[in-house]
Structures are given as structure tokens and as C-alpha cells.
Structure 1
Amino acid sequence: MNHFIQKTFQLKDPNITIDMDRVEEQHYKGRLSLFYFGTLTYVPKACECCGIVNDAYQVVKNGTRHSRLTLASITGLPAYLNLAKQRFKCKTCGQSFTAKTSFVDPHCFISKRVTQMIMDRATRVMSEVDIAKDTHVSPNTVRRVIHQAAATLRIRPTSSLPEHLCFDEFKSVKSVKAAMSFIYCDAINHQVVDVVEDRKAGSLKNYFIRYDLAVRRQVKSVTIDMYEPYIQVIHRWFPNADIIMDPFHLIQALNRELSQYRVQFMNTIRTKDRRLYNKLKRYWKLIQKNPNDLKATTYHRFPLFDWLTNTQGIVDYLLAQDTQLKATYQIVHQLGDAYRTNNWPRFESTLIQAKQLQLPAGLRRVLRSFKKYQTYIHNTFSYPGLTNGPIEGINNKIKVLKRTAYGYRNYSHFRDRILLMTRLYVPQTNKKDQATTYAA
């Protein structure tokens, strides 16, 4: 039975003996709890104070000291171990010391198993108060464990950087002067490298200057959105890195302009042609949809249409009502299809073709940005497997964490929690992704 209890409590210290005949149920901190009792004793090899070897019984037993250790929950009830630790006294120096155990850290009354449970729950989207309730400790204890664990995960400037990085930002806390904080991760294994308080160029300069030039030269690519300060930082501090424009933001910008012009055209005919207005409003998803996914063979009835048609026919009818809407539709989907097929010459020729067409002001502005960042967009086609998708997912998890915790006031606590959520466990990457080689 003693062996069974030791396995249950994960007691790997053979010097601890559990009293199998004594288990008490007591109300502690307002809850029914289980109390177990045990002793810790052994023969020390030497005095911990003066270091004299205990070969002639120089160290003798000198009473016990009782400690109440917090254990993991058992059958849903809080569990504690009242441990009687052996006290020793050295005859040579006259000083006393207490027996040590690997079951808990020095000067700590929480078992290592409970500490591991706190760190494990800290990787999930849970508030610190909920973690404290689950592990039957105080919120301050949870915060201390998170801080200690995060301190071991912080990257040092002397360490190496991943070859492929992703840059992005997220809404920061109120204690930070800047509205957005900077975060970057490994583009291959999706593990967060670090978090910086501010995303401005000056703050990023002060951060990345700590790394040696040899370390920064190892970075081969950085994936970003179209945020100008990131481009300046990469050119200055990562001389060998190719800048990759995130394809999601490129396609999102195109689709947004297509949707905005459709709404603009709808508003001009709202009172003139109500039936056409309703059709544009009802079938807006077909206009945004990939033309290759539209059906042109199967005919049946659709609401608002008085004749048999199909999805391709609906789109053709709506586009025929306005030449500028049709031109916008063609340019947007041609650029999108060029990216999906990884056809850079077609993407480049479409940008040139767009100059000859009458397009909305919003789409012309987006295409001017594409022309300005054409070199970086070309890198997007050269590195088809690298996107900002992983870091966007991490940012979403950070937003959910803030909402679950009802916000954070302290930036350092928030940063520690982010590092623990994203760096405690090494993510399992796809072997196919690891084997992929990217052309320069």
C-alpha cells in the first residue's frame, strides 16, 4: 500500500515514508480536504553547515520540523501532506539543519507536481485566478511560478536566431505607452522567439542591436505585412534577409476593395433599381468567390431571378451592369489566381494591364502599393510556404487570453504569460514543412 501511495503522489524520494493508517478529512480554507502524514529522515553524509564528514557520528538527530505540503487533487478534493522532516545537529560546529527532499524545491511548500500543473495550465487560455482554484494555491503563487518559468524561456542576445522569421504586432496593455507591442516567431516551427514592448522603429533598433552581426546574418527571410518601419528595421539589422509580404494581407486588400466598390455601386442604384440592388446584396459571396469554383453547367432557379441560371450566370449578369465593377472583378481575381498558381509573370503582367483600365480609387491605391513593394511581393512567390498565418493564430490566442483574464495591467506579467503559452512546449511541425527548401 505504501508503494501504491508513493506512485499516486509521484513520491520518488525513498527517504519519505507515508503513514498508511492515517488519512484524515478536514475542512481547510473552507473546503473538505484530505490530509496525509509522512516522515522524512536519512543519515546525512556530512554536515551542511561546516562540511565535516559524518563518519564518526558527528551529525546526530535533533527532533523534527513539520511542514504542510500541497499535493495534486485526489478525487476532486484538495490534498496535503503533513511531513515531519528530520532535524540534525553537528557536534563539531554546533549548528542545526533540516533534511532535504527532491519532492519540493528548497524553502517551498508546494510539491513539484503541483508546480508542473500550474505551468501546464498556464499554457492554456485560462486566467490566473482559475489556475489558482484548480491547483488550490493562491493567485500570487501562480504568478510567481509563471515568472520563474518564463525567466528560463527568455531568449538571450548571445543565442542564435531562426533562419526564417515572422514579424507582427498585437494590442498591448494600458501600462505600455505604445498602443501595439511587437512579436516575432520562427516561420518554420511556429515557436515564438520573443515579445517587445513597442513596435516602433526606434524600439526595435534598441532590441535587435543587442544581437551580434553574425547572428543577424543567419536570418534568410522575414515575413511581414505592409508596415513600413518593419522594412526599415530589416534592411538595417538583417542584411542577408529577404523581405516577404504576407500573401493573406495582399489578397485581403484586393478583396476588400472589390467589396467596397460593390457596395459603392449598390448605393448609387438603391432607389433607381431596387431589384438589381437586392441581387447585388444577396449574391455578394459569389462575386468574392474564386471564379474557378463557380458552376456554369447546372441550371436551376435562384431567388430574385425569373429564369433558370447557375452561379456563373449570376456573376456574369451582375458584372454586366457596370463596366468598372467588371474590371475590378477581373483584376482582383486575376491577381489572386496568379498567387494561387505561383505564377509571378502573370501577376506582374496583370499589374501592368491594370494601368490601362478605369478602376476605383481604392483599388488603384492598393495596386500602387503593390508596385512599390513589387520586389518583396516577388519574394512571396519565391518562398511559397512562408506566411504570417502561424503568428496571426498566436495573436488570436493572445486576444482570447486578454478577454478571458479581463485584461492585464502589467506588461511584464502579460509577456511572461505569452512566453509560457508559446514556448513551454515545443510545437510538433510537419515533416513535409521541415523538408521543404526555399529558393533564394
Structure 2
Amino acid sequence: MLQDNYTQDLPIFKGVTVKYFRESEDNNSYEAFIEMPVKEHHCPHCGYTTTYIKDYRLQKVKDLSLAGKPLKVTISKRRYICKNCNSTFTENNPYIKRYCHFPQRFYFEAIKETFNLQSFSAIARRFGTSVTSIIRWFDNINYPKAELPSCIAIDEFKGNADGEKFQCNLSDPVKHKIIDILPNRDSEDLCKYFLDYPYEKRAKVKKVVMDLSTLFRSVAKKIFPEAKIIADKFHVIRIVTNSLENTRKRIQKEFHDAKRKWFKRSRRLLLKPEYKLTDEDKIELNRMLNSSPELEKAWLLKEKFYEIFRKETRTEAKRELRDWLLLANQLSVPEFQHCITTFTNWSTEIANIVGENVSNGFIEGSNNKIKVLKRISFGFQNFRRSRNRILSLI
């Protein structure tokens, strides 16, 4: 029983003979010596079978760690000689492929690590190999163009790859999946990309969600004639809240220091929806609004704007938005002039938000993860590599 070689049963040494397996003298690693059993081999040149051994060659390779310690393997390779054509060849070895420096599972585990949020340098340190090797192995991965879903979301992010400052993120907001990463945000290049899909596939896209970008809207109208363009609710409301904040900042400059600081500390009450205010909040809010009639107008416009999204149909929402624009023109708060211009141009897309449960939430979150990946990797110069890394990660 004590003579049994249990090392032979390890899955990593399947198909080979283990001559010894031991701990190194410094106790920092494991060492193994393996060889193939002698058997007949077919000559790769003439097909003749032979068992004549010409010589032996030793190859030292590094395997994955075992129990937290590196595994160093020495392989004894036999070279056979064919008596028919007098050519020599090396025996086949299931442990490691020809011309490889590591076992196949070593490559698989290293590439699998690139699917996590970490840099190539961190992976190289963990596996004890060079950064260029990790990058070279990863570059064998390539993702083809995916099918277009019925609902897509599009947004830009600052990628700085291949000389282009911005890249585009194309995602499925329903299944929470990135469809593709595009090299730039040029309208002509975007149209070329989407026109590679036949019209039948583009016609299946029924919804396109985006922030208030006229560039993306013009492309969507040309490429997806059957789709309904929906403005992202967060970006729409943010324009209103920013206008309210700018009004507060302008007005509080006229106050003395104590009141100005109190105004700044209490700004959350202005942004909070009225139905969420407690009785104490309402008392504080009234004190703020009584300090400036213009601030009261801005707060009223903010609350009235929320009513648009409480409507049940698009027609009612569009009518409510039209009434809001008339009210904003009558109240004439300077900071809301940008809202009036923008919402007039995007009235249809804003009304389309009502009754829909899709937004740019996922794509904004994935853009944030892309920025983290870019930061820990100290940027990406190669667009193809950055695209494959993003699609592997998210």
C-alpha cells in the first residue's frame, strides 16, 4: 500500500509517467519529472511505425501553482528515428503541445483572468510571466458583431484609443448586455457600421434610448425608421434640477455669509420632490422660498415638470410638456431658458418616456466600469484590444 504512486493519479499528469514529485530544497516550490511511456510511433513523413529512440531532450516548463507554491516540471522528451526514411521526430506529449512553453491549462487560466477587472500587469505578476505574453495571448480573442436586439441604448465615453477621443457604447438596456463598442462617434462611421446589417434586422429595432444628443438622434432616424426614440429620463430631469441649482447659486450670492451657508446646506430640500418632504422639511423649504420670489418660481417649474411623467399616455404627457413650456416662458427665470430651447426640440422623445420602462441606467453603469478599467490599465492605445477587453469584462 505504501508503494502506491498517488501522484500518478493527479489529473494534470494524465497520460504521462511521473518519475518523481517532491518539494524543492528551499521549500518554495514543487518539482516534478515526467516522461512518456515507450510505445510505437508513426513517422509524420512516411507513416512507417518505429520504436527506435535516437536521443533524449529535457524541457523545463512552469505549471500552475499547487497549494500556493509554483510547480516546476522537467519533461524528458524522446526523439525517434524512422528506419524507412531516416527522418527524426519528437514523440507526442499530452502534457504540453509542441512549440509551447506552458501547458494548455496555463494559457486558459491566464486568459480567464482577463475577464476580471484588473490590469494585464497584475495578471502577469500572479502567473509569473511577462506582460507582453499575457497581451499576446489575449489578442487571440476577437468578438464578432452581435445581433441587434429590439431595444438598444447608445452613449459615448472617453476612451482615447487609436487617436479618437470618444468611443461609443452600444448596449441592450433590457437584457443588461453590451452589444458592441464602436471606434468613434462620427455620424458617417456610425451609419456605415449599422448599414452592414440588412434592413430586415434593422427594422426589428423598435426602441432607441439615448441622452439628449442630436448626433445620435439623427443617426437613429436614418438607420432605424421603425424605431421609437426615447430620451433618457435621468438626463432630462437633470437639466431641470441643474437650472434650479444655478438659480439658487445666483440668488444666494446676494445674502450675507450666515444665510448663504444655510442656503447651501439646505439645497437638498429644493431638489427633493414635494411628496417626499416631511412637515419639518416643508417649514424649512417655505423659509427658503420666501427669501426670493424668483427661487419660488424656479422651484414651481421643477415640481410642475415632474407632473409630465405621472401622465398615463404619451398624448397627455406631450400636452403637459407644452403647458410647462408656456409657464416657463411666462415666469422668465433666466436659468430655465436652456430648458425651454432643449425641451422644445426634444418634446416628442421626452413624451415617449411615459409608459416605457427602459433607460440609460445600465449603459451609464457600464461606462463607469470602463473608466475604472481604463484607469487601472493606464489607458488603452489599441482600440481592438480595448474593445475585446470591455466585451470580455461586461
TM-score range, shorter chain: 0.7 to 0.9
TM-score (norm 1): 0.79
Instruction: Answer yes or no: is the 8 Å Cα contact 1:342–1:381 preserved in 2.
Output: yes
Q: Give the counterpart of 1:161 among 132, 141, 148.
A: 148
| Partner residue in 2 for 1:305 | none
CA distance in 2 between partners of 1:342 and 1:119 (Å) = 50
| Partner residue in 1 for 2:159 | 172
Cα deviation digits, residues 222-261 of structure 1 (max 9, x gap): 2111111111221222232222211121122221111111
| Partner residue in 1 for 2:192 | 206
Cα deviation digits, residues 77-130 of structure 1 (max 9, x gap): 322222223434444444333344554455322233332332232222222111
Alpha-carbon spacing, 1:86–1:224, altered in 2? closer, same or farther (3 Å): farther
| Partner residue in 1 for 2:366 | 394
Q: Does 1:270 align with 2:231?
A: no
Alpha-carbon spacing, 1:408–1:315, altered in 2? closer, same or farther (3 Å): same
Q: Does 1:291 align with 2:262?
A: no
Q: Give the counterpart of 1:225 among 166, 187, 211.
A: 211
Instruction: Answer yes or no: is the 8 Å Cα contact 1:34–1:77 preserved in 2.
Output: yes
- Which residue identity lines up with residue 170 of structure 1 in the other structure? F
| Partner residue in 2 for 1:376 | 349
Shift of 1:266: 0.9
CA distance in 2 between partners of 1:375 and 1:84 (Å) = 74
CA distance in 1 between partners of 2:216 and 2:338 (Å) = 20
Within 5 Å, which residues of 2 pair with 1:21-100? 21-25=21-25, 32-41=28-37, 43=39, 46-50=42-46, 52=47, 57-58=49-50, 60-100=52-92
| Partner residue in 2 for 1:407 | 379
- Which residue identity lines up with residue 296 of structure 2 in the other structure? K
- Which residue identity lines up with residue 294 of structure 1 in the other structure? L
Alpha-carbon spacing, 1:210–1:2, altered in 2? closer, same or farther (3 Å): farther
Shift of 1:175: 3.9
| Partner residue in 2 for 1:260 | 246
Cα deviation digits, residues 239-292 of structure 1 (max 9, x gap): 32222211121122221111111111111x234xx5542331120111111222
Shift of 1:331: 2.3
Alpha-carbon spacing, 1:230–1:130, altered in 2? closer, same or farther (3 Å): same
Instruction: Answer yes or no: is the 8 Å Cα contact 1:169–1:181 preserved in 2.
Output: yes
Instruction: Answer yes or no: is the 8 Å Cα contact 2:56–2:78 preserved in 1.
Output: yes
Shift of 1:179: 1.7
Instruction: Answer yes or no: is the 8 Å Cα contact 1:25–1:35 preserved in 2.
Output: no
Number of residue equivalences:
388
CA distance in 1 between partners of 2:383 and 2:97 (Å) = 28
Aligned residues: CA RMSD: 2.8
Q: Give the counterpart of 1:330 among 292, 300, 305.
A: 300
TM-score (norm 2): 0.87
Which secondary structure state, in structure 1, belongs to the residue aligned with residue 354 of structure 2?
helix
Alpha-carbon spacing, 1:138–1:325, altered in 2? closer, same or farther (3 Å): same
Query: Among the aligned pairs, what percent are the same residue?
Result: 23
Alpha-carbon spacing, 1:286–1:23, altered in 2? closer, same or farther (3 Å): same
Instruction: Answer yes or no: is the 8 Å Cα contact 1:266–1:277 preserved in 2.
Output: yes
Instruction: Answer yes or no: is the 8 Å Cα contact 1:42–1:99 preserved in 2.
Output: no
